[in-house]
Structure 1
Protein backbone atom coordinates (compact mmCIF):
# COMPACT_ATOMS: atom_id res chain seq x y z
CA UNK A 1 0.00 0.00 0.00
CA UNK A 2 1.25 3.47 -0.85
CA UNK A 3 -0.05 6.71 0.60
CA UNK A 4 0.27 10.16 -0.96
CA UNK A 5 0.71 12.76 1.77
CA UNK A 6 0.91 16.52 1.30
CA UNK A 7 2.52 18.48 4.12
CA UNK A 8 2.09 22.19 4.70
CA UNK A 9 3.97 24.57 6.99
CA UNK A 10 2.28 25.11 10.35
CA UNK A 11 -0.26 27.93 9.91
CA UNK A 12 0.64 31.05 11.91
CA UNK A 13 -2.86 32.54 11.70
CA UNK A 14 -4.98 29.41 12.18
CA UNK A 15 -6.07 26.83 9.64
CA UNK A 16 -5.79 27.88 5.96
CA UNK A 17 -8.93 29.25 4.30
CA UNK A 18 -8.27 27.29 1.10
CA UNK A 19 -5.88 24.67 -0.22
CA UNK A 20 -4.01 24.35 -3.55
CA UNK A 21 -6.19 21.49 -4.80
CA UNK A 22 -5.84 22.63 -8.41
CA UNK A 23 -2.05 22.20 -8.14
CA UNK A 24 -2.16 18.56 -7.07
CA UNK A 25 -1.20 16.10 -9.81
CA UNK A 26 -3.84 13.72 -11.15
CA UNK A 27 -2.58 10.18 -10.71
CA UNK A 28 -3.70 7.48 -13.15
CA UNK A 29 -1.69 4.57 -11.70
CA UNK A 30 1.14 3.79 -9.31
CA UNK A 31 4.72 3.94 -10.67
CA UNK A 32 4.86 0.12 -10.81
CA UNK A 33 1.75 0.06 -13.04
CA UNK A 34 -0.74 -1.06 -10.37
CA UNK A 35 -4.09 0.69 -10.71
CA UNK A 36 -5.38 3.14 -8.12
CA UNK A 37 -8.41 2.37 -5.94
CA UNK A 38 -11.70 3.26 -7.64
CA UNK A 39 -14.28 3.88 -4.92
CA UNK A 40 -17.92 3.92 -6.00
CA UNK A 41 -18.87 6.62 -3.48
CA UNK A 42 -17.33 8.94 -0.89
CA UNK A 43 -18.48 9.55 2.69
CA UNK A 44 -17.42 13.19 2.90
CA UNK A 45 -18.13 16.50 1.18
CA UNK A 46 -15.38 17.42 -1.31
CA UNK A 47 -13.39 20.39 -0.04
CA UNK A 48 -14.39 19.72 3.57
CA UNK A 49 -11.58 19.48 6.14
CA UNK A 50 -11.37 15.81 7.14
CA UNK A 51 -8.89 16.14 9.96
CA UNK A 52 -5.69 17.70 11.19
CA UNK A 53 -2.52 16.60 12.95
CA UNK A 54 -4.02 17.25 16.40
CA UNK A 55 -6.98 15.03 15.52
CA UNK A 56 -9.45 17.56 16.85
CA UNK A 57 -10.88 18.87 13.57
CA UNK A 58 -13.33 16.81 11.58
CA UNK A 59 -12.53 13.35 12.89
CA UNK A 60 -15.06 13.11 15.71
CA UNK A 61 -18.53 11.96 14.75
Structure 2
Protein backbone atom coordinates (compact mmCIF):
# COMPACT_ATOMS: atom_id res chain seq x y z
CA UNK A 1 0.00 0.00 0.00
CA UNK A 2 1.31 3.41 -0.95
CA UNK A 3 1.71 6.15 1.59
CA UNK A 4 -0.12 9.43 0.96
CA UNK A 5 1.82 11.61 -1.47
CA UNK A 6 3.54 8.70 -3.24
CA UNK A 7 2.60 7.37 -6.68
CA UNK A 8 4.78 4.29 -6.91
CA UNK A 9 7.34 2.07 -5.24
CA UNK A 10 10.75 1.88 -6.88
CA UNK A 11 13.31 -0.87 -6.54
CA UNK A 12 17.01 -0.09 -6.03
CA UNK A 13 18.52 0.97 -9.35
CA UNK A 14 15.18 1.80 -10.97
CA UNK A 15 15.62 5.60 -10.96
CA UNK A 16 19.06 5.22 -12.56
CA UNK A 17 17.72 2.80 -15.18
CA UNK A 18 14.93 5.22 -16.07
CA UNK A 19 17.42 8.06 -16.42
CA UNK A 20 19.66 5.94 -18.64
CA UNK A 21 16.75 4.90 -20.86
CA UNK A 22 15.56 8.51 -21.20
CA UNK A 23 19.06 9.74 -22.09
CA UNK A 24 19.54 6.98 -24.65
CA UNK A 25 16.24 7.94 -26.29
CA UNK A 26 16.42 11.74 -26.01
CA UNK A 27 20.15 12.34 -25.69
CA UNK A 28 21.96 14.37 -23.09
CA UNK A 29 21.56 18.14 -23.22
CA UNK A 30 24.86 19.97 -23.61
CA UNK A 31 24.76 23.77 -23.38
CA UNK A 32 26.05 25.51 -26.52
CA UNK A 33 29.00 27.05 -24.70
CA UNK A 34 30.09 23.65 -23.40
CA UNK A 35 29.65 22.07 -26.84
CA UNK A 36 31.78 24.80 -28.42
CA UNK A 37 34.51 24.16 -25.86
CA UNK A 38 34.40 20.41 -26.58
CA UNK A 39 34.72 21.11 -30.31
CA UNK A 40 37.60 23.56 -29.72
CA UNK A 41 39.52 21.00 -27.67
CA UNK A 42 38.80 18.23 -30.19
CA UNK A 43 40.14 20.40 -33.01
CA UNK A 44 43.22 21.32 -30.96
CA UNK A 45 43.88 17.61 -30.32
CA UNK A 46 43.24 16.73 -34.00
CA UNK A 47 40.25 14.55 -33.15
CA UNK A 48 37.99 13.85 -36.12
CA UNK A 49 34.66 14.46 -34.38
CA UNK A 50 32.72 13.89 -37.60
CA UNK A 51 33.38 10.19 -37.16
CA UNK A 52 31.63 10.05 -33.80
CA UNK A 53 29.20 12.94 -33.79
CA UNK A 54 26.24 13.88 -35.96
CA UNK A 55 26.95 17.61 -36.17
CA UNK A 56 23.42 18.58 -37.21
CA UNK A 57 21.82 16.95 -34.17
CA UNK A 58 24.71 17.20 -31.69
CA UNK A 59 23.97 13.59 -30.75
CA UNK A 60 26.35 10.68 -30.60
CA UNK A 61 25.92 8.33 -33.51
CA UNK A 62 25.21 4.74 -32.48
TM-score scaled by structure 2?
0.28
Query: Which structure has the greater CA radius of gyration?
Result: 2
Q: Highest relative contact order (Cα 8 Å, sep 6+), 1 or 2? A: 2
Structure number with the higher helix fraction is 2
TM-score scaled by structure 1?
0.28
